[in-house]
Amino acid sequence: QLQLVESGGGLVQPGGSLRLSCAASGSTLDYYNIGWFRQAPGKEREGVSCTSKRGGNTNYADSVKGRFTISRDIAKNTVYLQMNSLKPEDTAVYYCTAAYSCGTIATMLHYAMDLWGEGTPVTVSS
């Protein structure tokens, strides 16, 4: 059974960077589409980025395109989300999960597997 644990969040000033990690156990991440999602206070969970299995396609929400990069380290069985030029509106709890399909950013939550962890909080504030 695939299990995922997010880490790497924290408090950062606007314009700063963080790298989030999604570490897998129980199975090989390369067999799965993996998505990053976030949920800000009082808002619904939304898709941020997704990477298709075996290093296929990647996609990004328009709000993070050009600032965030999703990547895989097969040896470490981990998917990363490199976040640069962070903005206060990026403040949220970030989650990763496997997905039946990356779909589009608008639909990826629909395809997410119920493997949610506790997430890792990101706060962008001066």
pLDDT digits (tens, 9 = 90+) for 32-51: 999 999 999 999 999 999 99
- pLDDT of the residue at 83: 98
- pLDDT of the residue at 106: 87
- pLDDT of the residue at 56: 78
CA proximity to 80, closest of 88, 89, 70, 68: 70
Residue 98: partners with Cβ closer than 8 Å, 6 or more residues away: 2, 4, 32, 33, 34, 35, 112, 113, 115
Residue 122 has pLDDT above 90, yes or no: yes
- pLDDT of the residue at 30: 87
Residue pLDDT, tens place only, 69-111 = 999 999 999 999 999 999 999 999 999 999 999 988 888 888 9
DSSP state of 44: -
